[in-house]
Amino acid sequence: MLKKIILSLIIISSILLTGCTSKKEKTDLLSVIKKRGELIVGVSYDSKPFGFVENGKLQGYDVDMAHLIAKRILGNEKLVKFVEVTPSDRISKLCSGEVDMLAATMTITPQRLEVVDFSIPYFYAGQAIMIRKGTSIKTVGDLNGRRVIIILGTTGEKNLRYFAPEAILQGYKSYQAGFNGMLNRKAEALTTDDAIIAGFIMDHPEFMMLPQRYTQEGYGIAFRKDAESKTLKYEVNSAIAELRKKGYLNHLKATWLPAPSDNFKNKPTPQQGPSD
Ligand code: GLU
């Protein structure tokens, strides 16, 4: 266990020192992808409604985004290979060259921009709080002194430390593990993006999301921070701009996210908070 932790710390520090660049690709990544005939994308497998497995099928907003980008780059939306990532391992899987890019509910933050590159935003989420119905928690301030579940490596972890410094944090490595913690009453609240909480509540109506949003966060596709990824990033940015213009992004939102009346607000009220 100790060995694993030391190894992870070495990988993280080397990424922070050198930035996220791949030793594998020394030619233009977009050309490599075209030659390979397949786009390799890291997505979450437990972040309904963005990336999740149901009836044995990987699906969701981020999965559809990846298919649409493959269609633009390779002329066929089926030419995508998906690799599972979690908030704790996605940057190392990108930097090691295991995936070409990440479409994984990843917020664009100044701190992450020092390590990876991002596309223009394709979706806006806000930090929110999930509680079991009937709990007395009303605002983020009420989390002080209470046990709260966060997913390690997410903006939710950082935001909670800022907005409720006295909260007793319980960190989980994956969304599924965090939600299981709520199901097993390990904590009184869980905090993460409203879009992800909305997905959990769809299947578990005994929980609810508080109306307050205490950040506003744009999701971006992440790339390695090297010259080889520049044309891929350019192509993805053009794809996102076109998808927005043609109404496909609204269509994806309407397909995957519940209506605002179902306790999901995609126009969160931002508050002052940490930048990453
Ligand atoms: N959007 C947040 C983040 O990038 C939480 C979701 C996630 O990590 O998958 O940290």
Q: How far, in Å, from the CA of 110 to the mean position of ligand 1?
A: 14
Q: How far, in Å, from the CA of 124 to the mean position of ligand 1?
A: 11
Q: How far, in Å, from the CA of 35 to the mean position of ligand 1?
A: 32
CB distance 222 to 106 below 8 Å: yes
pTM (2 d.p.)? 0.86
Q: How many beta carbons lie within 10 A of that of residue 179, not counting itself?
A: 25
Probe target for ligand 1 pocket from 86, 89, 106, with the most ligand atoms within 8 Å of CB: 106
Q: How far apart are CA 186 and CA 189, in angstroms?
A: 9
Q: Which atom of ligand 1 is nearest to the CA of 104?
A: 9
Query: Measuring from each residue's beta carbon to the nearest atom of ligand 1, which residues come in under 6 Å?
Result: 44, 47, 87, 104-107, 154-156, 192-193, 217
pLDDT > 90? residue 259:
no
Q: Which atom of ligand 1 is nearest to the CA of 154?
A: 10
Q: How far, in Å, from the CA of 154 to the mean position of ligand 1?
A: 5
Q: How far, in Å, from the CA of 193 to the mean position of ligand 1?
A: 7
| pLDDT tens track for 38-73 | 999 999 999 999 999 999 999 999 999 999 999 999
Confidence of residue 110 (pLDDT cuts 50, 70, 90): very high
For 7, 10, 18, 111, the CA distances from 13, given in Å and listed in that order, are 10, 5, 9, 14
Q: Which atom of ligand 1 is nearest to the CA of 109?
A: 4
Q: How far, in Å, from the CA of 256 to the mean position of ligand 1?
A: 17
Q: How far apart are CA 276 and CA 274, in angstroms?
A: 6
Q: How many beta carbons lie within 10 A of that of residue 45, not counting itself?
A: 20
pLDDT score, position 10? 47
| pLDDT tens track for 137-153 | 999 999 999 999 999 98
Q: How far, in Å, from the CA of 87 to the mean position of ligand 1?
A: 7
Helices of type H across 19-89: 29-36, 61-74
- Which residue CA neighbors atom 8 of ligand 1 most closely? 154
pLDDT score, position 16? 52
Contacts of 144 (CB under 8 A, 6+ apart): 164, 165, 166, 167
- Which residue CA neighbors atom 6 of ligand 1 most closely? 105
Domains of the chain: 17-124+218-256 (3.40.190.10), 127-209 (3.40.190.10)
| pLDDT tens track for 184-218 | 999 999 999 999 999 999 999 999 999 999 999 99
- Which residue CA neighbors atom 5 of ligand 1 most closely? 154
Q: How far apart are CA 61 and CA 263, in angstroms?
A: 19
